[in-house]
Structure 1
């Protein structure tokens, strides 16, 4: 009787098992969406611990802490602008869902510009093992970071006392050319040079006015005015055919993107290791500008030279610049010198 009852109950058991398996199947159907959400959360936490935005914000925290202890804040501003930060093996350690705080740890490395090491114990690279948290700002402006363990870096930065002229990367110009080299046939006419100097005034728009006046005076000249668009879009019929002009354009376009290797390759080999024209120096200066360089005009002069105008903003400097670019001879012209006619 017991066996018969057990046999009678078998279909019910099988039905219950089927329902149970069906229920399990239904749960499995929901898992993909849960997995997507889980992956999205993991990606968010990873970005909070390891992303270019995270590194820049942590660099700001470190320099802010150093400025609080320093009497040389302006120099630290310049040092911050031309230093690079990176992380080794950043790890997400946890997450507090109640406060939405992501906890991380990593080894932080700060690479400082050449010349600054003499005030940092000879170190071009400052490093520390840190723990840090990331939490959304109350004003929805992004993540706010809090660091522990960065004191070895902060203390060295707080003691930094060099003048920024010692370590600040130079713009890619020959700063002594205008003093050492007398005016030649490939320099600007006096009246144009005089009016060009006015473009140093911030926000004056003098370089725009100059281009319009030049165009009005000589409407059939090869002056390429580009104030309304990228330099590469300006009058290809008058500039695209010149290999020398192509070199100049490639150089300034590379400055605009901070591509030091490309820009330095347009310069004669003898100058590629100099402080102003090395790939590293160009990347450090032009790659960290608040407003990237923009080539606004280019026009040929005599003796294989070109006059260019451009604009950019660096820490503590806004430049509406003008320069004479002189090229070497040969099948592939290279830049021999750049004389900034207004100092930037």
Structure 2
């Protein structure tokens, strides 16, 4: 039996594929390379195509005994989702609808879904718990929440069991240095800071230093991508043993400020990394930290790469080895 990883050439998906291969799982990868990179897929059988293409879904499910799906394929830029919501509803929601219909048609009953903390919107309290209100403030978060609701009804109607994992900030890179984070455009703080260290940017902009935090800059929850992948493995095993559908937060549980990220990157890289204070961006909450108590209690998940230095060191190793990302390769 095989595991189908949609979006398996992307940042998190490629780490998932490597972990499954290391566990000697039979892996099928589906990716349209909208954000993913062929060089990031270190094994398994790769299909190049879109989850909205029913012909390629039929080809995969007809010719391979798929046991479960781990679903990463999605558009994930908050700003873009606000100016082009059609893309997000088509790719994220309709794409998942096509995938679920194919799963139902071929009798596949297990899916681990890559959701997001953006489903919560502006938090009413921190740390954020799974029972808190979900009021997304952007189309990206809205489409992910809509998928969660769709999963619930496919479970009710077709007994497709799911575990949805709401990520906070995935970061870092695989310890091997073979795969890491390469987006175009890059919007995540840690790789942008490291691009300054590499001389690819002149400075890092800090959007606001007057927040009610210890140093005035926003605080976010950063989770090492390998710890995130470990949670997916636990979710998959839970479904394999007859587990019920669930939603879990995934975070480090400890927040780091923008200034802490920059200062730690200066220490790790040995570079000055110039920074400039800019005006606040609209809609940036002061603090976003996850409570991951539920998944720790129910699935015995324990993140082990929790120190900021570990996260940035692993990312720096990747960027040093791949200064132009996968594109040069």
> If the length of structure 1 is used for normalisation, what is the TM-score?
0.19
Higher relative contact order (CA 8 A, sep 6+): 2
Q: Which has the larger radius of gyration?
A: 1
> If the length of structure 2 is used for normalisation, what is the TM-score?
0.20
